[in-house]
Structure 1
Amino acid sequence: MPIKRIILYAQDVEATVRFYENHFGFQASREAGDRIVELVSAEGGANLMIHPAAKGQRKGQSTVKLVFDVADVEAFCQGRAKKGLVFGTIHRADGYTFANAVDPSGNPISVSSRAFRKVRLSE
């Protein structure tokens, strides 16, 4: 059964919504009386549900990292930097690259070309 929704807790819901809209192309869906803002990707995949964090929850307190598939990590990071999202060092792994950053609520995110790597078959 595929995952269809992921809840992210945010200190600043609106800043977090704008972040994912501006940098990753999500569209916000709001329902009257609901304090959760659901973000829907135009490209499919799981929706992000931005939920107000509890008063006692610390910023960045998370055990989940969102990973976005990007064919050209370096170009993506350069483009996002022009819009204010700065990623850390671009790391090279086994046939792919990735870079890390955080959203406005301190949740870790990553962009990775792993989904686009050429997989070597074992002999």
Structure 2
Amino acid sequence: MRLGRLVLYVRDVEATIGFYEKHFGYKAERLDGDRIVELVAPDGGVNLMVHPAGKGQKMGQVLVKLVFDVENVEAFCAQSSAKGLEFGSIHQADGYQFANAKDPSGNSISISSRAFGK
């Protein structure tokens, strides 16, 4: 058994799809009549299910953070900045680096070299 999908509740479905396609290489799969758009991970990782948020849901106030494994945090931050995504400060942890940002709906995201031990 493995975790295969994660649902993101968002206000702007198209902005969210574009964000994850542009910055993280996901590809949108749409099924006729389905309001959920599945973003397929470029490397066989966890897919993201983009779901329109209900009126009562508050954006960015959940206890989840999406962490993307990148080998070189500094280089990824520079590439992302050139495409309009600004990460916060790069933090040095115990043997790896990470940096944080938010997607268009205020969901917390992070890039981390932890998986690479750097």
Q: CA-atom RMSD, angstroms?
A: 0.8
Q: Partners of 1:74 and 1:54 in 2: how far apart?
A: 36
Give, in whole Å, the separation in 1 of the partners of 2:62 and 2:98. Answer: 20
Q: Among the aligned pairs, what percent are the same residue?
A: 66
Equivalent residue pairs, number: 118
- For residue 31 of structure 1, give the secondary structure of its aligned residue in structure 2: coil
> TM-score, normalised on structure 1?
0.94
TM-score by length of 2: 0.97
Q: Which runs of 4+ in 1 moved over 4 A?
A: none
Q: Which consecutive unaligned segments of at least 5 residues does structure 2 have?
A: none
Cα deviation 1:29-86 (Å, max 9, x = unaligned): 0001100000001211111000000111112121110000000000000110011100
Distance 1:101 1:79 in 2: 14
The structure whose Rg is larger is 1
What is the aligned partner in structure 1 of residue 29 from structure 2? 29
Name stretches of at least 5 consecutive residues in structure 1 with no aligned partner.
119-123
SS where residue 48 of structure 1 aligns? strand
Amino acid at match of 1:63: L
1:112 paired residue number: 112
